[in-house]
Amino acid sequence: MSDSRLISLEGLNWSYGEHEILRSITQEISKGCFTSILGPNGSGKTTMLRLMMRILDPDRNAVRLQGKDIHEYRRKDLARRIGSVPQQTDTSYPYSVYEMVMMGRYPHKRRLESLNWRDHEVVRSSLKTTDVCHLRRHGIHEISGGELQRVVIARALAQEPEILALDEPTSHLDPHHQLAILGLLRRLVTEQGISIICVLHDLNSAMRFSDQVMLLNHGRIVHAGTPEAALTADHIHEVYGINVKIQTLDDGTPYIIILGS
Amino acid sequence: MFSTKKFAVTALLLVILLAAVTAVSVTLGAASISFSSSLRILLSPLFPSLVSQDIPPSHIYIILQLRLPRVLSALMVGAALAVSGTVFQAVFKNPMADPFILGISAGSALGVAVGMITGFAMIVSSRWGVPVFAFLGGTGATAVIYLLGGRGVSSTTLLLAGIAMNFLLSAAMSLLLFFNRDSLESVVYWNMGSLTSSSWSELSVIIPIIMIGTAVILLFSRELNAMTLGDETALSLGISIRNVRIIVLLLATLVTASSVAISGTIGFVGLIIPHIMRIITGANHRTLLPYSAVGGALFLMLSDALARSVVPPSEIPVGIITAMAGAPYFIYLLKARGRHIL
């Protein structure tokens, strides 16, 4: 088994009742990469991400993590390998930022085991990585959306995961915060070797920040590969039904300009 | 963020406060027994020399056999209701969930009524039979609410389910009493929410159940914390939410049912206490649960003291006092819902 295999999807299906969401998806996700999942609304992106973390239960052997069926892992073991940043975080309970991030240590703790200096150490370094140390005493209901997103990422990092799974982490943020979050994720890949799987909406963000792209349409992966190979004008037209032009910026990154439908 | 030391100090202060309120409550009542002799009688099981000839035996009986069990049951029932309220609010992610509003208390009460009328509750002994039937009835009600609200339905749906449940159970109770008129008085009187009939023999069963139940719930604080952030977050933190939900709901039902078994249905303690405690200590269940227990105990002991002293020599059911404090608070919560209410 090659070392670079992280998650393998082998004929992954999912449906809600009669409604088919994902149809026999087969795909390898490699280790140490920033992998983006793209596609129109309702194409099955979030469902795919949830199946990869077993928030939804896939069929046996349809999702394999490091070569083993995901059902063979206990939920706690899974939580030590995959940190998650869901689309929504309920902030109606007034936890402090520090308490919230400390929840990322739960998968490492047995029931009667109390928190020790190492847990505090990991929490502090996660807060530092995501640049929210100064907010640690604030309530999670008192901070802005961009700050909350960083806090949730810090919690996922406190799980000390090999994989970080994020569902549209930038969707409610202004351009400045979008850029900051994506830059942070990119650094996690290059500096800490964390593999990132991220549902994104913005084509240019995916183009600029990811190593691998999966383009979904009607529950199938229609194109996958490097951003340049997967996100061509033809492919974008085929999936989204819009006309685009791709230009190369001064720094060499391709930039997608939307012309019309 | 509580440091362990600060937590220990606060906990010690609260225990002293609880002991003080217990001591003062014991001196209140129809028979006028001075504070100092009450205190001496109260400590006499530990220091027999404190009770000398000047204290009449009737006073010793009143303090140790009538008032102390009553004050202790106020303490236990208050703690139990506040702890289970905290659990219901966390599991249903709803600040207005409470064993009384959701109909769990009414379910336990109906269980007890069935047990009393059929006589099954008296087969072994009533001190065991009554809590067992309360638990059976409460579990039935919790199961229905769980099936309706377990998937995180909206607050409104959950509250409506609770209202429907209360209507249904009160109709069932009325029907039961209609066909068993001879039991009417004892059941109605017990169900009114009163601590008057508490005795040591009942407490000897109820106190361990409530304390053990609460202790086990406390072991699930981390799970409760994670679950209040949403199912997806809880799952991704490695928590098997289905199992945890069922376990903690059963524990909360057990604790509620035990309180109903000694005091009938007392409302609103489980609603307002966790809410106030979250404002004071924050949401972390590790601290919130013990604080709620103490807060609920203090609240019910004070309510009971009030119930005994406003119209002497008679007394009003303590449920009336808690409802008068709790119902306006509930209305305030309803009005504040648009804003941030936790």
Asked if A106 and B1 come within 8 Å (Cβ–Cβ), the reply is no
Q: Does B235 touch chain A (CB under 8 A)?
A: yes
Per-residue pLDDT reduced to its tens digit, A53-78: 999 999 999 999 999 999 999 999 99
Secondary structure letter of residue A96 according to DSSP = B
pLDDT of residue B150: 63
* A166's tokens: 């994020």
Provide the 3-class DSSP secondary structure of residue B100: coil
- CB-based contacts of B91-94 (< 8 A; 24+ apart in sequence): B91/B224, B91/B227, B91/B245, B91/B248, B91/B249, B91/B252, B92/B149, B92/B152, B92/B158, B93/A90, B93/A92, B93/B152, B93/B227, B93/B228, B93/B230, B94/B149, B94/B155, B94/B158
Helices (H), chain B: 4-27, 35-43, 57-61, 68-91, 104-118, 126-149, 155-179, 184-191, 200-218, 221-227, 231-236, 241-263, 269-281, 285-309, 318-336
Whole-structure pTM over 0.95, yes or no? no
Helix B104-118 to helix B241-263 angle, to the nearest 10 degrees?
50
Dihedral over Cα of B212, B107, B270, B145: its sign: positive
Distance in angstroms (rounded) separating the CA atoms of residues B43 and B41? 5
Q: Does B239 touch chain A (CB under 8 A)?
A: yes
pLDDT of residue A81: 96
Q: Of B102, B105, B103, B128, nearest to B115 (Cα)?
A: B128
Distance in angstroms (rounded) separating the CA atoms of residues A3 and A26? 19
A123 contact residues in B (CB cutoff 8 A):
none
Q: Domains in chain B: how many in total?
A: 1
Distance in angstroms (rounded) separating the CA atoms of residues B125 and A79? 48
In a domain, B21, yes or no: no
Asked if B230 and A79 come within 8 Å (Cβ–Cβ), the reply is no
Q: How many CB atoms lie within 10 A of CB B271?
A: 26
Q: Of B59, B61, B41, nearest to B51 (Cα)?
A: B41
In a domain, B76, yes or no: yes
CA A192 to chain centre: 16
Q: Which of A94, A107, A111 sits opposite B278 (nearest CB)?
A: A94
Per-residue pLDDT reduced to its tens digit, A1-37: 446 789 999 999 999 888 899 999 999 999 999 999 9
B222–chain A nearest CA distance, Å:
7
The residue type at A88: Q
Q: Which of B225, B282, B341 sits opposite A103 (nearest CB)?
A: B225
The residue type at A219: G
Residue A147 Cα distances to A39, A91, A132, A186, B208, angstroms: 27, 13, 7, 18, 45
Per-residue pLDDT reduced to its tens digit, B32-67: 788 888 888 888 888 887 777 778 888 888 888 888
In a domain, B14, yes or no: no
pLDDT of residue B153: 64
In a domain, B8, yes or no: no
Q: Which domain holds residue B95?
A: 69-336
A104 contact residues in B (CB cutoff 8 A):
237
Residue A119 Cα distances to A76, A104, A159, A162, B82, angstroms: 16, 9, 10, 17, 31
Place of tokens 């709803």: B94
Per-residue pLDDT reduced to its tens digit, A156-186: 999 999 999 999 999 888 999 999 999 999 9
A95–chain B nearest CA distance, Å:
5
In a domain, B53, yes or no: no
Q: Are B105 and B265 in contact (CB under 8 A)?
A: yes
CA angle B27, B73, B305 (to 5 degrees): 40
CATH for A86? 3.40.50.300
Q: Does A103 touch chain B (CB under 8 A)?
A: yes
Q: Domains in chain A: how many in total?
A: 1
In a domain, B154, yes or no: yes
Q: Are B50 and B43 in contact (CB under 8 A)?
A: yes
Asked if B240 and A50 come within 8 Å (Cβ–Cβ), the reply is no
pLDDT of residue B151: 65
CATH for B88? 1.10.3470.10
Q: Are B151 and B138 in contact (CB under 8 A)?
A: no
CA B332 to chain centre: 22
Q: Is the pLDDT of residue B126 over 80?
A: no
pLDDT of residue B3: 62
Q: Which domain holds residue A51?
A: 5-260
Q: How many CB atoms lie within 10 A of CB A183?
A: 12
Per-residue pLDDT reduced to its tens digit, B169-218: 989 988 988 888 887 877 777 777 678 777 898 899 999 999 999 999 99
Q: Of B332, B204, B227, B186, nearest to B272 (Cα)?
A: B332
pLDDT of residue B341: 44
In a domain, B189, yes or no: yes
B236 contact residues in A (CB cutoff 8 A):
53, 55, 79, 82-84, 86, 156, 165
* B37's tokens: 């002799």
Chain A from 107 to 166: CB within 8 A of any B CB? 107, 109, 111-112, 137, 139, 141, 156, 159, 165
Distance in angstroms (rounded) separating the CA atoms of residues B71 and B198? 9
